[in-house]
């Protein structure tokens, strides 16, 4: 009985210390994240084993690759946590293409011209070429870009890219999840003026971005709300935002346009791995 009492007292002290830590020393001020209720008529993707059939590229060779991009010659690029931009040639050989002193390289995209667009969670929007690395955008509205995540280039050279959180960085992204507040943004970089502007603000962990086939709308992933939004760039709805898909089975991460106009969305592995193909909607 004495041992039980000591254990009980120790547990109460531990719980009290934990509660005081949260109340007085926690870096977050959380809100309640309200997710939409599942509709009875909502379609549920059927279970399948398609991901078990994929070909694994670079297994054991790549350190934490976040994204992939393919250039016009068919070479595949990926950025690793070790700071390397690695290139996979069509003959199956890997090449250490560029090295950058960073462990925070994330989303990448191949521009219409030479080089590679890369999001660095610490340094902002970068462009890699054979001649070196250029910082395209490190600030917006006088504030430092803290967590550049993913990017896509339009046919006019404009670059749309996401900022997952304006409060937390890559290495403490879980605090953004726990706080459940909309710190994310979508930014636009204009190459003719070299100016960066805020296109959308107040997003819940803005992650992947993609342009429609006709570039009339932009899709963006809100990871912690389990949904993707559509932002109209042209037409009568220009400047308006609407829900593209919601109540996903997990948090959406990267998103890419498929050749047929549909969209591939990668979902974060909370409990299991998922991959979805979302048909185009107009």
Q: With pLDDT > 90 as the criterion, what percentage of the chain qualifies?
A: 59
Asked which of 134-138, 182-186, 266-270 is least confident by mean pLDDT, the reply is: 266-270
β-bridge mates for residue 139, sequence order: 144
Per-chain mean pLDDT for the chain:
87
**How far is 107 from 190, CA to CA, in rounded Å?**
19
pLDDT band at 272 (very low <50, low <70, confident <90, very high): very low
Q: Domains in the chain, please, with CATH?
A: 65-278 (2.120.10.30)
H or E stretch at 74: none
Judged by DSSP in three states, 43 sits in coil
pLDDT in tens, 155-187: 999 999 999 999 999 999 989 988 999 999 999
Residue 165 near residue 176 (C-beta atoms within 8 A)? yes
Residue 232 near residue 238 (C-beta atoms within 8 A)? yes
**How far is 239 from 200, CA to CA, in rounded Å?**
9
Tokens 């599942």 belong to 38
Neighbours of 161 (CB within 10 A): 29
**How far is 22 from 15, CA to CA, in rounded Å?**
11
Q: Which residue has the higher pLDDT, 161 or 39?
A: 161
Give mean pLDDT, residues 118-124.
96
Which residues, 6 or more positions from 105, have their beta carbon under 8 angstroms from its beta carbon? 66, 79, 80, 81, 83, 85, 118, 119, 120, 121
Q: Please give the model's pTM, rounded to 2 decimal places.
A: 0.85
């Amino acid at each position: 009985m004495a041992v039980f009492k000591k254990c009980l007292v120790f547990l109460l002290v531990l719980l009290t210390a934990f509660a005081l830590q949260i109340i007085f020393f926690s870096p977050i001020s959380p809100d309640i994240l309200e997710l939409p209720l599942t509709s009875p008529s909502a379609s549920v993707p059927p279970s399948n084993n398609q991901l078990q059939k994929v070909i694994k590229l670079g297994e054991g060779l790549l350190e934490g690759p976040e994204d992939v991009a393919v250039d016009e010659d068919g070479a595949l690029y990926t950025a690793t946590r070790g700071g390397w931009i690695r290139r996979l040639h069509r003959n199956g050989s890997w090449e250490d293409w560029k090295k950058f002193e960073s462990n925070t390289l994330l989303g990448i995209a191949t521009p219409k011209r030479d080089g590679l667009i890369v999001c660095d969670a610490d340094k902002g929007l970068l462009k890699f070429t054979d001649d070196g690395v250029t910082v395209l955008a490190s600030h917006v509205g006088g504030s430092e870009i803290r967590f550049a995540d993913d990017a896509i280039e339009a046919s006019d050279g404009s670059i749309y890219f996401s900022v997952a959180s304006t409060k937390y960085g890559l290495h403490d992204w879980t605090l953004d999840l726990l706080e459940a507040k909309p710190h994310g943004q979508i930014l636009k970089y204009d190459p003719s003026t070299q100016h960066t502007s805020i296109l959308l603000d107040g997003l819940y962990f803005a992650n992947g971005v993609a342009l429609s086939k006709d570039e009339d709308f932009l899709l963006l992933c809100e990871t912690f709300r389990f949904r993707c939004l559509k932002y109209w760039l042209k037409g009568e709805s220009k400047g308006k935002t609407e829900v593209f898909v919601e109540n996903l089975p997990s948090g959406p991460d990267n998103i890419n346009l498929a050749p047929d106009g549909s969209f591939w969305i990668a979902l974060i592995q909370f409990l299991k791995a998922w991959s979805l193909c979302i048909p185009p909607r107009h």
